[in-house]
């Protein structure tokens, strides 16, 4: 019948295929809504940041700690993350870096911007954390444009940071390095959170204070080491920032406090909005935290208790206090279905099964034409070729599948989206990415409501290094799948 096809078989997943799967296979959260800690490959983090592009940088540090934080998008989940890239001289001992990162990665709190992963590969040292989209406390305090930060939000930020520090201390991570207003960030709901990056040293030597010496704990200047009491001192400088709206050296602030000139310290934007008693209480708490002798400073439990009594408008949502638009359905994070996750992880075994199960059910028009042709006896040889192609695809004989699907499609029969999708997948396995991309786009054109065309494009585009386009295709596939499932439920 002329339907004999090649016996060459490709029954394994090829080494050229760049899977974005995490090295330990972790993709789900641990019940906290935060992904479990994982070790990422350098390729995935490079792709997430478009090759560590300058326009992805969200913050940089000085010469003493030349570290850069990028905004990245993980292909494996569609999640937007903050990626901290250490300088080349930091952490020469990879084992020490991994141990430190894994320990911090076990912490999970709604008061932290949690650490969700790291990378230790090819001399690179990177941390991956939850991304906080609404800037830092320093930005809202020192560089506001229209509305200053309200007293209620300042006190909420102080309490949440103190609670974060207390939580970390209770979990055996009492040391926090270089605490300041830039370490406090605001999440999608406007809630203040403490960055997890300060829970790790900037380098293996522990010399991680890169700010002006005027703000550095006295004992650090003597010993070069951080203690839990040093963290309380640094927190006192943050309280001064909140009270004054500017970065005042502690020694100068203490002189004003001793002279009972706390009103001179008060941010002028707060006049008429803060009672004298509240302002005095905060000033006294800051003064206690900034005592020269470490033993004279309060513990974190006492700090939390003192700040709890200063809370205002406790029932008002944080996004209202911060004055931001609130959208729970953030476009930065795409909630993926099980099918979407399989494509995002580039799990070829799962994708193969999905394409097997989802075959031909979207090809109504094509099937109608094929049925008509089969009844009239036309193109009978092509149908034998199609049968060979489907059997080859099922048995993972992808070279045969490509040849037979190509022969059928070239015969002039109706072009079925399922055939294009399966040939696309076979091309991907064979490393023919451009041919696979063309088939995925053709499948989308013929069946625009079928999510597989978009999902397959996401898979191919990732391996072509076109991450932004890949992420958009993944989102479109997710949306179409949700619409299809919704229609199915109403039938």
Known catalytic residue at 178: yes
- The DSSP code for 53 is -
- In the beta sheet, which residues pair with residue 60? 68
- DSSP 8-state class, residue 409: H
Distance of alpha carbon 398 from alpha carbon 406, whole angstroms: 12
Under a CB-based contact definition with an 8 Å cutoff, are residues 125 and 45 in contact? no
Closest CA to 243 of 289, 206, 305: 289
**How many whole angstroms separate alpha carbon 190 and alpha carbon 71?**
18
Assigned token pair, 76: 């494996």
Q: Between 398-410 and 417-430, two packed helices, what is the crossing angle to 10 degrees?
A: 140
Strand segments, DSSP code E, in 76-191 are 80-85, 112-113, 115-121, 124-130, 184-186
| Separation between Cα atoms, residue 224 and residue 247, nearest integer Å | 23
Backbone angle region of 458, left / alpha / beta, with phi > 0 → left and psi within -120 to 50 → alpha: alpha
Alpha-carbon span 57 to 114, nearest angstrom: 19
Choosing from 30, 55, 93, 178, the catalytic residue is 178
Do residues 93 and 38 touch, judged by C-beta distance below 8 A?
A: no
- Contact between 265 and 257 under an 8 Å Cβ cutoff? The reply is yes
Q: Cα angle at 35 between 129 and 429, to 5 degrees?
A: 100
Cβ distance 152 to 321 under 8 Å? Answer: yes
Q: Which two tokens stand for residue 231?
A: 């963290």
**Cα angle, residue 372 at apex, residues 371 and 374 outer, rounded to 5°:** 65
DSSP one-letter string for 390-453: HHHHHTT-HHHHHHHHHHHHHTT----HHHHHHHHHHHHHHT-HHHHHHHHHHHHHH-TT-HHH
> 90: which 2 tokens?
């930091």
CA distances for 478 relative to 19, 252, 271, 296, angstroms: 20, 56, 50, 57
SS3 112: strand
In Å, how far are 22, 52, 165, 186, 338 from 195, measured between CA atoms? 23, 21, 11, 10, 31
The answer to whether 35 touches 28, Cβ cutoff 8 Å, is yes
Hey, which residues are catalytic here? 178
């Amino acid at each position: 019948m002329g339907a004999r096809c090649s016996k060459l078989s490709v029954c394994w997943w090829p080494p050229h295929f760049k899977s974005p799967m995490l090295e330990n296979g972790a993709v789900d959260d641990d019940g906290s809504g935060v992904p479990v800690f994982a070790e990422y490959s350098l390729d995935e983090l490079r792709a997430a940041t478009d090759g560590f592009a300058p326009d992805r940088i969200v913050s940089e540090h000085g010469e003493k700690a030349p570290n850069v934080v990028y905004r990245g998008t993980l292909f494996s989940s569609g999640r937007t993350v903050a990626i901290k890239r250490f300088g080349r001289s930091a952490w020469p001992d990879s084992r020490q870096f991994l141990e430190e990162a894994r320990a911090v990665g076990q912490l999970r709190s709604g008061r932290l911007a949690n650490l969700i992963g790291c990378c230790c590969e090819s001399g690179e040292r990177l941390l991956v954390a939850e991304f906080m989209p609404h800037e830092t406390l320093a930005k809202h305090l020192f560089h506001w444009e229209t509305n200053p930060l309200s007293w209620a939000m300042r006190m909420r930020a102080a309490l949440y940071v103190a609670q974060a520090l207390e939580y970390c201390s209770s979990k055996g991570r009492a040391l926090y390095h270089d605490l300041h207003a830039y370490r406090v960030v605001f999440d999608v709901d406007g809630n203040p959170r403490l960055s997890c990056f300060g829970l790790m040293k900037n380098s293996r030597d522990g010399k991680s204070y890169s700010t002006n010496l005027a703000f550095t704990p006295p004992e650090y200047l003597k010993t070069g080491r951080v203690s839990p009491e040093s963290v309380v001192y640094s927190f006192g400088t943050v309280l001064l920032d909140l009270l004054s709206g500017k970065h005042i050296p502690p020694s100068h602030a203490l002189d004003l406090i001793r002279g009972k000139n706390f009103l001179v310290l008060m941010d002028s934007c707060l006049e008429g909005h803060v009672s004298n008693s509240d302002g005095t209480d905060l000033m006294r708490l800051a003064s206690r935290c900034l005592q020269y002798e470490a033993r004279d400073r309060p513990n974190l439990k006492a700090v939390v208790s003192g700040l709890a009594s200063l809370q205002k408008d406790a029932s008002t949502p944080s996004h209202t206090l911060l004055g931001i638009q609130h959208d729970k359905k953030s476009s930065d994070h795409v909630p993926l279905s099980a099918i979407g996750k399989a494509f995002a992880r580039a799990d070829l075994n799962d994708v193969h099964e999905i394409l097997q199960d989802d075959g031909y059910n979207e090809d109504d028009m094509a099937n109608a034409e094929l049925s008509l042709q089969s009844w009239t006896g036309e193109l009978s040889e092509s149908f034998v070729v199609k049968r060979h192609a489907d059997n080859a695809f099922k048995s993972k004989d992808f070279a045969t599948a490509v040849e037979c699907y190509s022969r059928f499609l070239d015969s002039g029969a109706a072009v079925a989206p399922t055939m294009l999708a399966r040939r696309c997948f076979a091309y991907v396995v064979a490393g023919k990415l451009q041919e696979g991309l063309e088939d995925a786009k053709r499948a989308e054109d013929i069946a625009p409501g079928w999510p597989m065309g978009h999902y397959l494009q996401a898979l191919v585009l990732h391996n072509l290094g076109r991450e932004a386009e890949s992420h958009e295709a993944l989102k479109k596939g997710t949306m179409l799948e949700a619409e299809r499932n919704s229609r199915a439920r109403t039938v």
